[in-house]
């Protein structure tokens, strides 16, 4: 599977829009176009294989299901994961002749994507550093009272950072990635140690994505109960995700009712207290 | 005459924040320029023909700002209201505004990161993953529509509440009722993530104990699954959690550890993806 210059350029454009700090904005850029599941759909449409794109995106989404960037520290870069990793993973799947629906296909895609995403972190730091240039222009303009310049500093000049740090890397890596993947295939046969390791890593990595999320919501042992309740619903009882969500919503509803009932008694109690004091 | 910000200006300010909160991000100033550009239409309308006051007010917002930008829309709304009060001669100074901004940044970042990025997005993505099985386009489309509607309407709501109610608006997000809602949504988050982990992660071992004739005595993967289905997957997730939250190892390093574990596991035959052409 080849990626043409035009296709690679389109992928580069989406890389500019989707990154953190992207030019599609936080909500629609980073948190929509940058999510691997959505990116899978976009990349699939660009490369002419929607189904494979979405399946690769879904596999990779799991690793980054809770990609939080507290205070601007990142552990992976979405533009690299989504618009370099996903297209190259699709190329690799085609090169090795694997089905994206099978578990080995999923593992290969995940392994490839995460590798690229981790390497891509450097793009984030380059973009953020380069933006300091534009901000320098901005501080000068504010000194002089030329406020209109703020709009250009905030929304126009960062395009230069992105052409250098998002567009060009995605363009080149996607265009030259396909021959590279073919070369890798020549030297690394699928039953060799290296490929077996890549596949195994691919099957283990989503656990990190889920664990990043658990780190935020599970502070003590009992916090794991809802997690394992959901896990059991799917693993042992075979419920799909929509059904599991409905059941979860019911529990959340009960919890909310109990909480608000407690609040109501607290306020009611408070009111009686003051009444008594007034009586005295 | 009382100065009153027009609906048009407030809308412009909201959209500038909605789109531009992080477009010119740097490690040094983070969201400061996004904030400046969202406040510019506000200040320009309030101080038309008063360049001194315009300069004074714009200078206020050159102070550093960074929070979870989506929930942070409420702070921009609150300062729009405060700036209007200042233009009408009320005792609002730089310290009032920047004290409030600095005081809200931390708590709102905490709520935003855990509630929006850590709960709402994973829930929506979890459902979308379920709908995307088999490569169906309904999954990604579901996420694009629900997430953007939720974020856009939510941000608009808190921006304008912030403008109308001022500092009190923050109660909507941090009050007791809000806390009850947050804790309830977090239950959904934890359960959906559990179901996502069980549906999509597949850690299995190829280890089999053989007797002298080459017959399988113990198929470890089957034995483990008969104790608790997908036990190995659950254990892997908990180990990763333990490494990150109890041993304080960064996610990137945990990924590195997994590469080593996978390599050794493949060498000794514990892991074998069973690949062939």
DSSP string, A48-82: T-HHHHHHHHHHHHTTTTT---GGG--SS-HHHII
Contacts of B185 in chain A (CB under 8 A): 252
The answer to whether residues A213 and A225 belong to one domain is no
* Helices and strands, number each (H, E), in chain B: 12, 2
- Helix pair angle (A86-96, A50-61), 10° resolution: 110
Instruction: Tell me: pLDDT of A26 over 60.
Output: yes
DSSP character at residue B269: T
Average pLDDT over chain B reads: 90
The answer to whether residues A15 and A124 belong to one domain is yes
* Angle made by CA atoms B63, B67, B68, in degrees to the nearest 5: 150
Instruction: Give, for B218, the enclosing helix (H) or strand (E).
Output: strand B216-219
* Burial class (CB within 10 angstroms; exposed 0-12, middle 13-18, buried 19+) of B178: middle
- Quick check: A102 contacting B, CB < 8 Å? no
B208 forms beta bridges with B219
What 3-state class would DSSP assign to B209?
A: strand
Q: Tell me, what's the pLDDT at A29?
A: 93
pLDDT band at A38 (very low <50, low <70, confident <90, very high): very high
* Burial class (CB within 10 angstroms; exposed 0-12, middle 13-18, buried 19+) of A275: exposed
Which two three-digit tokens encode residue A49? Answer: 């294989």
Contacts of A143 in chain B (CB under 8 A): none
pLDDT band at B252 (very low <50, low <70, confident <90, very high): confident
Instruction: Tell me: pLDDT of A274 over 50.
Output: no
Instruction: Tell me: pLDDT of A117 over 80.
Output: no
Mean pLDDT of all residues in A36-42: 96
Instruction: Tell me: pLDDT of A237 over 80.
Output: yes
Euclidean distance between CA atoms B67 and B71, whole angstroms: 8
pLDDT band at A276 (very low <50, low <70, confident <90, very high): very low
Tally of domains in chain A: 2
- Quick check: A146 contacting B, CB < 8 Å? no
Which two three-digit tokens encode residue A145? Answer: 């009272």
By Cβ distance, the residue of B24, B237, B275 closest to A135 is: B24
**pLDDT tens for residues A44-67?**
999 999 999 999 999 889 888 866
Instruction: Tell me: pLDDT of A160 over 50.
Output: yes
**Higher model confidence: residue A85 or residue B208?**
A85
By Cβ distance, the residue of A25, A200, A228 closest to B23 is: A25
Contacts of B24 in chain A (CB under 8 A): 21, 131, 134-135, 138, 153-155, 157-158
Mean pLDDT of all residues in A187-202: 80
The answer to whether residues A84 and A179 belong to one domain is yes
Residue in A closest to B231 by C-alpha? A235
Which of B55, B25, B36 has the alpha carbon at shortest distance from A149? Answer: B36
pLDDT band at B158 (very low <50, low <70, confident <90, very high): very high
Range of the structural domain that residue A13 is part of = 5-217
Instruction: Tell me: pLDDT of A273 over 50.
Output: no
Euclidean distance between CA atoms B217 and A163, whole angstroms: 60
By Cβ distance, the residue of A27, A40, A241 closest to B127 is: A241
Euclidean distance between CA atoms A25 and A43, whole angstroms: 19
Q: A127 vs A163, A167, B33, B83, CA distance in Å?
A: 10, 11, 15, 33
Residue in B closest to A144 by C-alpha? B55
**Higher model confidence: residue B40 or residue B245?**
B40
Instruction: Tell me: pLDDT of A189 over 90.
Output: no
Q: Tell me, what's the pLDDT at B163?
A: 95
Instruction: Tell me: pLDDT of A68 over 70.
Output: no
- Helix pair angle (B7-20, B138-165), 10° resolution: 130
The answer to whether residues A69 and A177 belong to one domain is yes
Instruction: Tell me: pLDDT of A272 over 60.
Output: no
CA dihedral A46, A47, A52, A57 (to 10 degrees): -50
A141: distance to nearest CA of chain B, Å?
A: 12
Q: B135 vs A58, A59, A95, B157, B216, CA distance in Å?
A: 8, 11, 20, 35, 37
What 3-state class would DSSP assign to B247?
A: coil
Instruction: Tell me: pLDDT of B143 over 70.
Output: yes
Domain ranges of chain B: 7-196, 211-268
**Higher model confidence: residue B178 or residue B14?**
B14
The answer to whether residues A18 and A73 belong to one domain is yes
Q: What is the phi/psi pair of residue B134, to 5°? A: 80, 10
Contacts of A194 in chain B (CB under 8 A): none
* Cis peptide bond upstream of A21, omega within 30: yes
Mean pLDDT of all residues in A205-224: 84
The answer to whether residues A203 and A254 belong to one domain is no
The answer to whether residues A128 and A264 belong to one domain is no
Contacts of B134 in chain A (CB under 8 A): 51, 55, 101
Q: Tell me, what's the pLDDT at B61?
A: 95
**pLDDT tens for residues B171-223?**
778 888 888 888 888 889 899 999 989 988 888 888 888 888 878 888 888 88
Q: How many beta-carbon pairs below 8 A join chains A and B?
A: 383
Q: Are A81 and A64 contacting, i.e. CB atoms less than 8 angstroms apart?
A: yes
Which of B103, B85, B106 has the alpha carbon at shortest distance from B42? Answer: B85
Instruction: Tell me: pLDDT of B276 over 60.
Output: no
Which of A178, A206, A263 has the alpha carbon at shortest distance from A58? Answer: A206
By Cβ distance, the residue of B125, B132, B194 closest to A65 is: B125
Instruction: Tell me: pLDDT of A186 over 60.
Output: yes
Q: In a mutagenesis test of the B interface, which of A40, A52, A60, A65 is the best target, namely the one with the most B β-carbons within 10 Å?
A: A65
Say what the ipTM of the complex is. Answer: 0.85
Residue in A closest to B147 by C-alpha? A32
Q: What is the phi/psi pair of residue A35, to 5°? A: -70, 130
Q: Tell me, what's the pLDDT at A264?
A: 82
Q: Tell me, what's the pLDDT at A279?
A: 44
Q: Are A199 and A107 contacting, i.e. CB atoms less than 8 angstroms apart?
A: yes
Q: Tell me, what's the pLDDT at A120?
A: 79
B1: distance to nearest CA of chain A, Å?
A: 26
Contacts of A195 in chain B (CB under 8 A): 275
Of A193, A217, A241, which one is at a domain's C-terminal end?
A217
The answer to whether residues A110 and A163 belong to one domain is yes
Q: Tell me, what's the pLDDT at B2?
A: 84
By Cβ distance, the residue of A58, A208, A241 closest to B195 is: A241
Of A168, A191, A217, which one is at a domain's C-terminal end?
A217
**Higher model confidence: residue B166 or residue B142?**
B142
Contacts of A154 in chain B (CB under 8 A): 20, 23-24, 33-34, 36-37
Which two three-digit tokens encode residue A217? Answer: 């919501």
Selected residues 230-259 of chain A with any CB under 8 Å from a CB in chain B: 230-236, 239-242, 244-245, 247-249, 251-253, 255-256, 259
- Helix pair angle (A224-235, B231-245), 10° resolution: 160
Euclidean distance between CA atoms B18 and A32, whole angstroms: 14
């Amino acid at each position: 599977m080849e990626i043409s210059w035009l296709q690679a350029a389109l992928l580069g454009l989406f890389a500019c829009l989707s990154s953190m700090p992207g030019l599609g904005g936080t909500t629609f850029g980073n948190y929509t176009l940058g999510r691997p599941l959505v990116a899978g759909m976009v990349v699939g449409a660009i490369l002419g294989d929607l189904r494979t794109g979405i399946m690769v995106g879904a596999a990779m989404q799991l690793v980054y299901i809770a990609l939080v960037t507290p205070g601007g520290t990142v552990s992976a870069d979405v533009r690299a994961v989504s618009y370099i990793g996903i297209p190259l993973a699709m190329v690799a799947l085609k090169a090795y002749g694997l089905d994206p629906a099978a578990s080995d296909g999923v593992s290969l895609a995940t392994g490839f994507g995460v590798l690229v995403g981790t390497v891509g972190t450097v793009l984030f730091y380059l973009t953020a550093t380069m933006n300091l240039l534009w901000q320098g222009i901005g501080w000068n303009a504010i000194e002089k009272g030329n406020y209109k310049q703020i709009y250009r500093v905030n929304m126009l000049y960062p395009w230069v950072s992105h052409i250098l740090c998002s567009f060009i890397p995605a363009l080149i890596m996607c265009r030259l990635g396909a021959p590279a993947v073919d070369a890798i295939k020549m030297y690394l046969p699928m039953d060799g140690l290296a490929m077996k390791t890549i596949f195994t890593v691919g099957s283990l990595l989503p656990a990190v994505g889920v664990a990043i999320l658990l780190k935020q919501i599970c502070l003590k042992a009992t916090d794991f109960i809802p997690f394992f309740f959901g896990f059991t619903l799917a693993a042992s009882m075979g419920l799909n995700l929509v059904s599991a969500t409905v059941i979860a919503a019911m529990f959340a509803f009960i919890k909310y009712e109990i909480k608000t009932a407690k609040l109501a008694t607290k306020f009611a109690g408070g009111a009686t207290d003051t009444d008594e004091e007034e009586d005295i | 005459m009382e100065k009153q910000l027009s609906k048009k200006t407030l809308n412009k300010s909201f959209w500038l924040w909605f789109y531009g909160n992080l477009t010119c991000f740097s490690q040094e100033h983070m969201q400061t320029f996004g904030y400046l550009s969202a406040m510019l239409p506000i200040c320009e309308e309030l101080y038309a023909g008063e360049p001194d006051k315009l300069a004074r007010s714009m200078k206020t917002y050159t102070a550093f700002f960074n929070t979870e930008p989506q929930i942070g829309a409420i702070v921009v709304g609150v300062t729009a209201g405060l700036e209007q009060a200042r233009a009408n001669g009320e005792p609002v100074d730089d310290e009032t505004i920047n004290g409030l901004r600095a005081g809200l940044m931390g708590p709102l970042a905490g709520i935003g990161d855990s509630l929006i990025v850590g709960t709402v997005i994973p829930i929506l993505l979890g459902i979308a993953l379920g709908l995307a099985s088999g490569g169906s386009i309904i999954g990604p489309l579901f996420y694009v529509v629900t997430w953007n509607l939720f974020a856009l309407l939510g941000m608009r709501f808190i921006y304008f509440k912030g403008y109308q109610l001022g500092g009190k608006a923050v109660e909507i997000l941090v009050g007791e009722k809000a806390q009850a809602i947050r804790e309830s949504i977090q239950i959904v988050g934890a359960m959906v993530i559990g179901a996502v982990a069980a549906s999509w992660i597949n850690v299995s071992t190829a280890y089999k104990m053989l007797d002298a004739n080459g017959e399988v005595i113990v198929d470890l993967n089957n034995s483990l699954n008969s104790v608790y289905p997908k036990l190995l997957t659950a254990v892997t997730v908990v180990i990763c959690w333990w490494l990150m939250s109890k041993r304080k190892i960064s996610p990137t390093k945990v990924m590195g550890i997994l590469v080593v574990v996978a390599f050794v596991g493949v060498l000794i035959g514990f892991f074998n993806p069973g690949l062939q052409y």
